[in-house]
């Protein structure tokens, strides 16, 4: 069984995104840990870019520990203004440090330092499924291609929950139930060798 880190990026715990993430984690079972970004205490802003170090808050240090531990990383996020909530963007900016999540090689090419992990990106949107690829699918390109896969988390599979505003309560409930099956499927994927995965310390 793979160890699974579920990142819930919605600020509202009652949101569809949060419910999907919780169901997915429940389906993944005992090998899953959920990181609800709304519950973390950290500065969203990378104050000087990469010019000077910025100490990690304890919650972000714990997030790095979880990313090192996980075989599979699942990110659940809404599509807001063709991007993601500031909460998720700030988390990426602060947590995925250069020299820890990625580095540049002597030839200038980037190298993902979280290689060996697989991923899933689950996005919710009010826009219909056909619309987002038509206008560039910027959220998926940003999170899956320019962030997760850039850092070595691949393949990153995509799950869409589209046209949310026009879905019935029964349809939303079906999505939430099905998310548990998706979590079980991902947890059943092959794990990394035990030597490649550090033990996860108890949260303090």
Structure-block tokens of residue 158 = 């995509």
Q: Which residues pair with 161 in a beta bridge?
A: 124
Q: For residue 86, give the DSSP letter.
A: H
Give yes or no for a cis peptide into 44 (omega within 30° of 0): no
Cβ atoms within 10 A of the Cβ of 158, count? Answer: 14
pLDDT in tens, 75-105: 999 999 999 999 999 999 999 999 999 999 9
pTM above 0.85, yes or no: yes
In the sheet that 72-78 helps form, which strands lie side by side, from edge to edge? 32-36, 4-8, 72-78, 118-124, 156-161
pLDDT in tens, 31-89: 999 999 999 999 999 999 989 989 999 999 999 999 999 999 999 999 999 999 999 99
């Amino acid at each position: 069984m793979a160890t699974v880190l579920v990142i819930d990026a919605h600020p509202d715990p009652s949101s569809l995104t949060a419910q999907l993430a919780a169901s997915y984690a429940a389906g993944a079972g005992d090998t899953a840990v959920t990181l609800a970004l709304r519950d973390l205490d950290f500065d969203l802003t990378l104050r000087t870019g990469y010019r000077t170090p910025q100490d990690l808050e304890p919650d972000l240090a714990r997030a790095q520990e979880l990313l090192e531990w996980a075989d599979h990383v699942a990110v659940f996020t809404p599509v807001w203004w063709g991007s993601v909530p500031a909460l998720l963007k700030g988390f990426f900016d602060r947590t995925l440090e250069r020299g820890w999540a990625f580095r540049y090689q002597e030839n200038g090419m980037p190298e993902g330092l979280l290689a060996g992990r697989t991923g899933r990106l689950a996005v919710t949107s009010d826009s219909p499924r056909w619309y987002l690829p038509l206008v560039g699918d910027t959220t998926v390109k940003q999170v899956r291609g320019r962030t997760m896969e850039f850092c070595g988390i691949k393949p990153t599979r995509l799950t869409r929950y589209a046209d949310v505003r026009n879905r019935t309560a029964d349809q939303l409930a079906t999505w939430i139930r099905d998310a548990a099956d998706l979590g079980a499927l991902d947890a059943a994927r092959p794990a990394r060798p035990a030597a490649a995965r550090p033990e996860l310390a108890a949260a303090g």
